[in-house]
């Protein structure tokens, strides 16, 4: 099976704690919000709640955009399209929350009370600059 996410893009997605912008949609109304994320094995993990989670429960098709800028100049950008799955499992949430918080050097209990969402990557766009 051919990988959806090229190795060079995997390296970018795991290289540093950048913010992703998660796009959801409900009733043809887009909603975009910044999120912390962790990428591994063609899956993105986020922990979230509120409108993002409500939208995902109703329409699992999502997009993520991650970009690195230096002094206002784009170094690289990755856009991912995928299908989100809400994981209603307390132990899986705690493990994912710990991994994400470690990536962003946050306290272990940050975002406690949210829900784990796993996004299976379907396609990747990685323009070069």
13 secondary structure, DSSP code: H
User: What is the rounded CA–CA span in Å between residue 119 and residue 116?
Assistant: 10
Domain that holds residue 31: 7-123
With respect to residue 70, please indicate whether it lies within any of the assigned structural domains: yes
Distances in whole angstroms, Cα of residue 41 to Cα of each of 11, 52, 83, 87, 118: 12, 23, 14, 17, 11
With respect to residue 2, please indicate whether it lies within any of the assigned structural domains: no
Rounding to the nearest 10 degrees, give the CA dihedral for residues 109, 89, 115, 12. 80
With respect to residue 128, please indicate whether it lies within any of the assigned structural domains: no
Q: Which residues pair with 25 in a beta bridge?
A: 30
- What pLDDT was estimated at residue 1? 47
- What pLDDT was estimated at residue 75? 93
With respect to residue 66, please indicate whether it lies within any of the assigned structural domains: yes
- What pLDDT was estimated at residue 112? 73
With respect to residue 114, please indicate whether it lies within any of the assigned structural domains: yes
What is the chain's pLDDT, residue by residue, as a tens digit (129 residues)? 457 899 999 999 999 999 999 999 999 999 999 999 999 999 999 999 999 999 999 999 999 999 999 999 999 999 999 999 999 999 999 999 999 999 999 877 777 789 999 999 999 999 877
- What pLDDT was estimated at residue 127? 85
If one counts the domains in the chain, the total is 1
- What pLDDT was estimated at residue 34? 97
Angle ∠(106,75,7) on CA atoms, nearest 5 = 75
Helix (H) or strand (E) holding 51: helix 50-58
């Amino acid at each position: 099976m051919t990988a959806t996410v090229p190795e060079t893009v995997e390296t970018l997605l795991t290289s540093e704690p950048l913010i992703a912008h998660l796009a959801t949609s409900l009733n043809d109304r887009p909603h975009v919000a910044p999120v912390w994320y962790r990428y591994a094995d063609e899956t993105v993990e986020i922990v979230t709640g509120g409108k993002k989670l409500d939208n995902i429960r109703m329409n699992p098709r999502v997009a993520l955009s991650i970009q690195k800028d230096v002094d206002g100049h784009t170094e690289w950008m990755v856009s991912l399209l995928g299908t989100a799955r809400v994981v209603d499992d307390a132990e899986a949430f705690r493990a994912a929350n710990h991994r994400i918080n470690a990536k962003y050097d946050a306290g272990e209990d940050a975002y406690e009370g949210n829900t784990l969402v796993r996004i299976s990557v379907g396609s990747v766009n990685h323009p070069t600059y």
